[in-house]
Structure 1
Amino acid sequence: MAKGATSFATFLIIGPTCFFLGILFSSFPYDYNVLWTTPPDREVYFKILEDHVKFLYASPPIISRILHIAIATGLIGFITKLYKPSEANMLFDGASLALYMAGVMVYLTNLVKGFKVITAGIYGNVVPGVAENVGPDDYISREDTLRVFAASNTILALVLVGVLVLQAGQWYALKKEDAEIKEMDRVAEEKKTNKGKKKQ
């Protein structure tokens, strides 16, 4: 694949990845006191996160469409780079794609489900009127649901950072390879020049 096409495909991967990291960073203040600290009155922070999730879920449809377009853009970048792949593509882009798809799965299974559960306010599978037949381990409480949602944001952020690290590693490896090829060409050219001088 041409170097320009590879650079553009890399841009298609890095752009959406940074976009998602920005979204997750903006959610970090809501997740922080739910997941990382134990403030005296944690209920306030559970309520803040719950209200934030409900507000996001009630966003206009254009918001989710932009998000899904960004996800698709990243996938297009991977497909472009993995078309007729080199060894470096298979190693770095293959691993990056695996992480990216892991992030998509976290989004679909944990975050989308979390949005629906938190907005509906139906935590676990306790049916009113039959709660006495349900054991304490048969449902997830409101607090645990919000913690899982916050932890999913953290997991997703780590996965996306992994994608960026692998893309940076690929760029470094290709740059190093180009430098080595140029050095080999220079040495070969010097040998040719020296041989020509000796013949004269």
Structure 2
Amino acid sequence: MKIIITATSFFLGLIFSLFPYDYPILWSTTPTPATHFDYFESHLRFLHASPPLIPRILHIVIFLGLLGLIMKLYKPSESNMLFDGASLVLYMCGITVYIANIVKGLRLVSGGVYGDELVKGAANGGGEGDEGVEQGQILGREDSLKVLAASNTILALVLVGVLVLQAGQWYAERKEAQEVESFSTSSSKKGGSEKSEAQEGGSKKKRN
């Protein structure tokens, strides 16, 4: 469980670091200034241009979380099937969102080519433009950044769900252990009282 919580919290912390950029785009009641999109785009380009060691560490941590969930499902109990099975489904949904939306969006932002520019590239016979049109990429710059921000929020909710399920499993196992302990304690007390009563009965018979 510690491996799962550590990997999930690490991934969630990275998403939270992007929240100052996502909040004005998704949740603010005032119109988002154009300069904010410039800041967000520059930050994403800086992230995507980071040294290869950075994404490798991230991917290793993600793999460790997935490995921890799979290991807990080896010879599963009823509790494992319920909590860890649901956690694994949510974790895989998070990985899917990360690969399909976030990684693809980072590559798009780093390229700096959006919607109409991709269509123009396709019309001019550019190979990259053709690929972009085939993938159905018709969003403009601001819409693409909004999709990235929304993907971060979805991923954060999925990861929080994994943490909630793991906390629920820990609480359920703890309550079960407490109930077993209280039952064994009451049984031992009951057995001790019966034994003492039997001893008292035997001593009375000897006296008689």
| TM-score, structure 2 normalization | 0.85
Deviations 1:102-154 (A, max 9, x none): 000000000000001111112134124849xx9xx981111110000001001
Q: In structure 2, what is the equivalent of residue 6 of structure 1?
A: none
Q: In structure 1, what is the equivalent of residue 127 of structure 2?
A: none
1:194 to 1:150, Cα distance in 2 relative to 1, 3 A: same
Q: In structure 2, what is the equivalent of residue 7 of structure 1?
A: none
Query: Residue 29 of structure 1: which of 3, 20, 30 is its match?
Result: 20
**Cα distance, 1:31 vs. partner?**
1.3
SS in 2 for 1:101: helix
Q: In structure 2, what is the equivalent of residue 4 of structure 1?
A: none
Q: What pairs with 1:92-171 in structure 2 (closer than 5 Å)?
A: 92-124=83-115, 125-128=118-121, 130=123, 139-171=138-170
**Cα distance, 1:87 vs. partner?**
0.7
Separation in 2, partners of 1:138, 1:152: 16
1:176 to 1:129, Cα distance in 2 relative to 1, 3 A: closer
Bigger CA radius of gyration: 2
Separation in 2, partners of 1:41, 1:196: 78
Separation in 2, partners of 1:172, 1:189: 26
**Cα distance, 1:190 vs. partner?**
1.5
Q: In structure 2, what is the equivalent of residue 55 of structure 1?
A: 46
Asked if the contact 1:34–1:42 (Cα under 8 Å) also holds between the matched residues in 2, the reply is no
Asked if the contact 2:24–2:32 (Cα under 8 Å) also holds between the matched residues in 1, the reply is no
Q: What pairs with 1:9-24 in structure 2 (closer than 5 Å)?
A: 10-24=1-15
**Cα distance, 1:82 vs. partner?**
0.9
**Cα distance, 1:39 vs. partner?**
4.0
Structure 1 residue ranges, 4+ long, deviating more than 6 angstroms after superposition: none
SS in 1 for 2:90: helix
Mean Cα deviation higher: 150-159 or 37-46: 37-46
Total equivalences in the alignment = 187
Please tell me the root mean square deviation across aligned C-alpha atoms, in Å.
1.9
Question: Which AA in structure 2 matches 1:150?
Answer: A
Asked if the contact 1:99–1:162 (Cα under 8 Å) also holds between the matched residues in 2, the reply is yes
SS in 1 for 2:113: coil
Separation in 1, partners of 2:72, 2:48: 34
**Cα distance, 1:198 vs. partner?**
1.7
> What are the ranges of 5 or more consecutive residues in structure 2 without an aligned counterpart?
125-132, 200-208
Separation in 2, partners of 1:12, 1:83: 15
> What are the ranges of 5 or more consecutive residues in structure 1 without an aligned counterpart?
1-9
Separation in 1, partners of 2:94, 2:122: 38
